[in-house]
């Protein structure tokens, strides 16, 4: 079975410039989350950065131009992000799903969980391949 982590990361295609995204500068959201490992299903704390439709993760929170992500998920490939406390039986858990697989994360508080869900959800909508620029309506300009 194809791994979501490898597929989402585009492991064979990953380049050092990460599509020119300066993940070390002015992220849309960043912070610590606990995530489940791909092969060994242990839970590990990682520093996550959401920027320009990509969710990067690192071993520590000191991110510079020379930092290399441990992984990256293009949120455009994701369909849903929602709470998952009932699925995992863990407080502050949420899931990020594609057509074929689901990734699980645990935040440090209810507020952090909701903030991550909202940020990732907005990014999914903004970067979804099913929505083109011509289909996005700016409701503020129509008043």
Across the chain, which has 143 residues, the per-10-residue mean pLDDT values are 46 55 94 89 95 95 93 91 96 93 95 98 84 49 47
For the chain, which residues make up each domain, given as ranges?
A: 4-10+24-130
Instruction: Look at residue 134 in the predicted model and tell me its pLDDT.
Output: 47
CATH code linked to domain 4-10+24-130 = 2.30.29.30
pTM over 0.85, yes/no:
no
Instruction: Look at residue 18 in the predicted model and tell me its pLDDT.
Output: 74
Instruction: Look at residue 13 in the predicted model and tell me its pLDDT.
Output: 42
Place of tokens 């929170």: 61
- Rounded-to-5 percentages of helix, strand, coil across the chain: 30, 30, 40
Instruction: Look at residue 37 in the predicted model and tell me its pLDDT.
Output: 82
Instruction: Look at residue 129 in the predicted model and tell me its pLDDT.
Output: 59
In the structure encoding, which two tokens stand for residue 15, read together? 């380049």
Instruction: Look at residue 23 in the predicted model and tell me its pLDDT.
Output: 93
In the structure encoding, which two tokens stand for residue 57, read together? 């993760």
């Amino acid at each position: 079975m194809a791994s979501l982590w490898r597929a989402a990361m585009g492991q064979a295609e990953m380049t050092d410039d990460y599509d020119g995204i300066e993940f070390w500068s002015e992220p849309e959201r960043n912070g610590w989350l606990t995530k489940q490992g791909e092969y060994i299903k242990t839970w590990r704390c990682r520093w996550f950065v959401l920027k320009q439709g990509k969710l990067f993760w690192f071993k520590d929170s000191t991110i510079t131009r020379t930092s290399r992500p441990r992984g990256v998920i293009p949120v455009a490939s994701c369909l849903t992000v929602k709470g998952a406390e009932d699925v995992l039986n863990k407080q502050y858990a949420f899931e990020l799903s594609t057509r074929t697989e689901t990734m699980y994360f645990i935040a440090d508080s209810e507020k952090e969980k909701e903030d991550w869900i909202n940020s990732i959800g907005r990014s999914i909508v903004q970067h979804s391949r099913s929505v083109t620029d011509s289909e996005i309506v700016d409701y503020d300009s129509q008043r």
